[in-house]
Amino acid sequence: MGFAGNTALWDQFRRLLLGTVVEALLESGLAVEFSTLRISFGPDSAFQVPRLDNYMRFVGVLEARLGAAPPPGAVEAARARLVQAWPALLSVVDLPVGDRLTSERNHLTVRVDAGPTGAVLRVEFDLEAD
């Protein structure tokens, strides 16, 4: 995963994103087996905050096994919540130089696939702010 900047700051922001995803899953009623939850970031990911030219891009996949079939509308509810989360998160990021990060890209795919040990939730994301 390629990122530039302060490693401690990257860790905090990664945890914030993961917490946001966990909240969305719980709110939507998806029975995720949290011990199977994996999030990976691809090589196009970048984290350059704070800098004179702030920039963030998170490209990757989140997967987790489901303990039960999703209730009707749960996958759509999770996607709707996650689509709102990125712009909401950016709106409260307080950068020290008076700059503001705005959403340039907010692509999410949320689906349930059949896996060898049961249903698997798969969230593919490409989130960018500049």
Q: What is the mean pLDDT of residues 106-110?
A: 94
pLDDT at 55: 87
Please tell me the pTM assigned to this model.
Answer: 0.84
pLDDT tens profile 18-56: 888 889 999 999 999 989 998 888 889 888 876 677 888
Domain boundaries, the chain: 7-98+111-129
Cα-based distances in Å from 15 to 11, 53, 80, 118? 6, 23, 21, 27
Residue 57 above 80 pLDDT? yes
pLDDT at 95: 67
